[in-house]
């Protein structure tokens, strides 16, 4: 397929590289900032523009990989007729694209993406379209980028986006707090990395409920109290420890 990418950030960069690796043709990058647009176009060996009036109109698919709160504005500023347009957001309805085309949908990468990634990650995709034909076209395109493609309407996609925030953003925040704690207490955070990856790897074989361990599930009050004493000077972390302990015990 011939593709135009609208956006210049992390998602646009990684999906652009995925698209090239799959053998598709990238016609153009469209972005508001000329420096970012030129840099991404150079990375992807294509052309760029910052002027909507110079948007290449010969593409088969227009991939809008921009921030959630910018999609409506950008969609409203483009007139693409019957061209197939997709956005990549988990929490934004596909219908926001009505303003720019009669054919539209969603290509949501259920993955945390960073432009500096040297190895392209596996990316599950949730897809949708405003017609059966569009859904099929988008799904077929996604299948060239990934072996994990599922249809998901706005409501289902939003629920998975909530779950993604919990397992990714919230977990990473806990890693941040743990690292700060280790720095302040002069212990080595890097010693925890095999534990982090080991727990994640187990989830390919077992449910999270099955692999839960620790003093909370054991009702080991002696250890819990020792931990709370250590956290006496870390009020926010102590509060989180107590909240998670109570939650684990209520679930188990």
CATH topology identical between 2-152 and 158-251: no
pTM over 0.85: yes
148-191 pLDDT, tens per residue? 999 999 999 999 999 999 999 999 999 999 999 999 999 999 99
- What pLDDT is recorded for position 237? 97
What CATH architecture applies to the domain 158-251? Answer: Orthogonal Bundle (1.10)
Residue 169's CB is within 10 A of a number of other CB atoms, namely: 10
Q: Which residue ranges make up each domain of the chain?
A: 2-152, 158-251
Token readout for 31 is 């972005």
* CATH code matching the domain that covers 2-152, chosen among 3.40.50.970, 3.40.225.10, 3.40.50.720, 3.40.50.740: 3.40.50.720
- The conformational region for residue 121 under phi > 0 = left, psi -120 to 50 = alpha, else beta, is beta
Is 215:223 a contact under the CB 8 Å cutoff?
Answer: yes
Exposure class string for 80-102: b at 16+ Cβ within 10 A, else e = beebbbbbbbbebbbebbebbbe
Could you say which residues of the chain have pLDDT below 70?
A: none
């Amino acid at each position: 397929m011939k593709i135009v990418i609208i956006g210049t950030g992390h998602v646009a960069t990684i999906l652009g590289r995925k698209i090239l690796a799959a053998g598709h043709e990238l016609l153009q990058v469209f972005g508001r900032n000329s420096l970012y647009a030129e840099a991404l176009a150079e990375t992807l060996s294509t052309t760029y523009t910052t002027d909507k009036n110079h948007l290449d109109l010969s593409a088969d698919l227009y991939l809008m990989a921009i921030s959630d709160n910018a999609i409506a504005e950008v969609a409203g500023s483009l007139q693409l007729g019957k061209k197939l347009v997709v956005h990549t957001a988990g929490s934004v309805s596909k219908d926001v694209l009505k303003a720019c085309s009669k054919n539209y949908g969603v290509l949501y990468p259920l993955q945390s993406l960073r432009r500096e990634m040297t190895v392209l990650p596996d990316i599950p995709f949730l897809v949708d379209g405003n017609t059966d034909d569009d859904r099929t076209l988008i799904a077929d395109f996604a299948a060239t980028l990934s072996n994990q493609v599922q249809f998901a309407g706005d409501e289902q996609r939003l629920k998975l986006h909530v779950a993604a925030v919990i397992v990714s953003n919230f977990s990473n925040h806990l890693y941040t707090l743990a690292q700060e704690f280790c720095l302040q207490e002069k212990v080595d955070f890097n010693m925890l990395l095999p534990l982090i990856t080991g727990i994640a790897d187990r989830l390919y074989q077992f449910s999270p409920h099955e692999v839960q361990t620790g003093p909370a599930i054991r009702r080991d009050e002696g250890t819990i109290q020792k931990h709370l004493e250590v956290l006496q000077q870390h009020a926010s972390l102590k509060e989180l420890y107590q909240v998670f302990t109570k939650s684990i015990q209520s679930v188990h």
